[in-house]
Amino acid sequence: MARYDFASDNTAPAAPEALQAIIEANHGFASGYGSDHISAKAADAVRALLDADAEVRFVASGTAANAISLAALCHPFEAVVAHEHAHICTDETGAPGFFGHGVGLIPLDGASGRIELPALKEALAAPDQSHRQSPAALSLTNATEYGTVYDRDDLVELISAAKAKGLGVHLDGARLANAAAAGFDLKSIARLGVDILVVGGTKAGMTPTEAVVIFDRKLAHRFDARLKQAGQLPSKGRFYAAPFIGMLESGAFVERAAHANEMALRLSALSPFPLRHKVQANAVFVEMDEPTLARLHAAGWFVYRFLDGSVRFMCSWATTPESVDELGAVLQSVA
């Protein structure tokens, strides 16, 4: 039987803090469609986490959160600038274009999932033409798809360049907890000029839920109608919101992510394979040929070959030191 411990942080169970919050939310009656007291309390917890005044909504998936957010930032004849390996470019089946009724994507390269300033400036310098979609938004990811973390100065440069050209800014924080555990200051996000942030809940140990944080309140106009049309305004929305109360009020959101990051470092130290990217969050990417990967799969451990050809190992809040050590021994045996 295959083990999926390190295939993705999505394969982990939900954390007890998240589940307990759902149980507590299940008492009594509440109004629907996100108008309830539990959703309001969860939104307050998100605002406190970010030290920012913002509109907060809860949806079922990161794909929906990203795509609907980008649709709010762009007209259908415009495009989003993003790293070529960003989730919106590689793993969302055209959702930004679907929800944005034609919104396009402009992919940029950059080492370890981070957009580099010269590439961004070149894209922004291209003249508007009626035959192509010009950029209207910049999408950034922290932590990146390769487990690296933008520092504040890098984000300031990128966001300032985008804002100078009138672009909106979206931050995909599917693994924002891991970035925070690596030292990224969550309270800086609103002041950096981000217009819409997605705070990942699912990968942080919650049941399926993501928070859409709208710093630019003009974008909140009719946002609930946008969610409703997209099937992302559930009648019992309090059960999407509740896990954020449990994870944020207890501090587990960052504490659990810190554990995942620590497990990734432990695994990287045990791996006999060269690292492809620096380990900063909860991901380990290694150089591994196909026969060796086949031996690893045959030994019962399933992991993915990633976009850049490396093999990815993801740690989660539920990863144990024992499982890391067990995998480390298997890696030594198949190397």
φ, ψ of residue 181 to 5 degrees: the values are -65, -25
User: What percent of the chain clears pLDDT 70, i.e. is strictly above it?
Assistant: 100
| Amino acid code (one letter) for 55 | E
161-186 pLDDT, tens digit each: 999 999 999 999 999 999 999 999 99
Domain boundary residue among 207, 228, 249?
Answer: 249
151: in domain: yes
Question: In this structure, what DSSP letter does residue 136 have?
Answer: E
Write the CATH number for 284: 3.90.1150.10
The Cα–Cα gap between 148 and 306 comes to 15
Domain boundary residue among 226, 249, 272?
Answer: 249
Cis peptide before 143 (omega within 30 of 0): yes
| Amino acid code (one letter) for 83 | H
Domain that holds residue 258: 252-334
123 and 271 share one domain = no
User: Which residue is it, tokens 């144990």?
Assistant: 320
Q: Which residues contact 78 (CB under 8 A, 6 or more apart)?
A: 103, 104, 133, 134, 135, 136, 137
3-state percent helix, strand, coil for the chain, nearest multiple of 5:
45, 15, 40
Using a 10 angstrom Cβ sphere, with 0-12 exposed, 13-18 middle and 19 or more buried, the burial of residue 270 is middle
136: in domain: yes
232 and 295 share one domain = no
The Cα–Cα gap between 310 and 308 comes to 6
42 and 151 share one domain = yes
101 band by pLDDT with thresholds 50, 70 and 90? very high
274: in domain: yes
311: in domain: yes
210 and 311 share one domain = no
What is the model's pLDDT at position 1?
Answer: 82
Number of separate domains in the chain: 2
Cβ(216)–Cβ(190) below 8 Å: no
11: in domain: no
275-316 pLDDT, tens digit each: 999 999 999 999 999 999 999 999 999 999 999 999 999 999
Residue 241, strand partner residues:
none
4: in domain: no
Domain boundary residue among 184, 215, 249?
Answer: 249
186 and 329 share one domain = no
Q: Which helix (H) or strand (E) holds 300?
A: none
240 and 103 share one domain = yes
52 and 99 share one domain = yes
143 and 284 share one domain = no
The Cα–Cα gap between 75 and 321 comes to 48
Q: Is the pLDDT of residue 258 over 90?
A: yes
- Average pLDDT rounded to a whole number, residues 210-223: 97
Q: Nearest-CA neighbor of 205 among 93, 317, 49? A: 317
Cβ(321)–Cβ(266) below 8 Å: yes
What is the model's pLDDT at position 159?
Answer: 98
273 band by pLDDT with thresholds 50, 70 and 90? very high
The Cα–Cα gap between 38 and 31 comes to 10
142 band by pLDDT with thresholds 50, 70 and 90? very high
User: Which residue is it, tokens 């274009």?
Assistant: 97
Q: Nearest-CA neighbor of 183 among 103, 254, 277? A: 254
The Cα–Cα gap between 291 and 331 comes to 13
Q: Which residues contact 149 (CB under 8 A, 6 or more apart)?
A: 142, 143, 178, 179, 182, 183, 184, 280, 281
The Cα–Cα gap between 91 and 95 comes to 9
176 and 195 share one domain = yes
- Average pLDDT rounded to a whole number, residues 37-47: 98
9: in domain: no
CA–chain centroid gap for 52, Å, is: 19
59 and 80 share one domain = yes
What SS3 state is found at 58?
A: strand
124 and 215 share one domain = yes
- Quick one: CA torsion of 179, 16, 244, 234, rounded to 10 degrees? 120
218 and 299 share one domain = no
Using a 10 angstrom Cβ sphere, with 0-12 exposed, 13-18 middle and 19 or more buried, the burial of residue 3 is middle
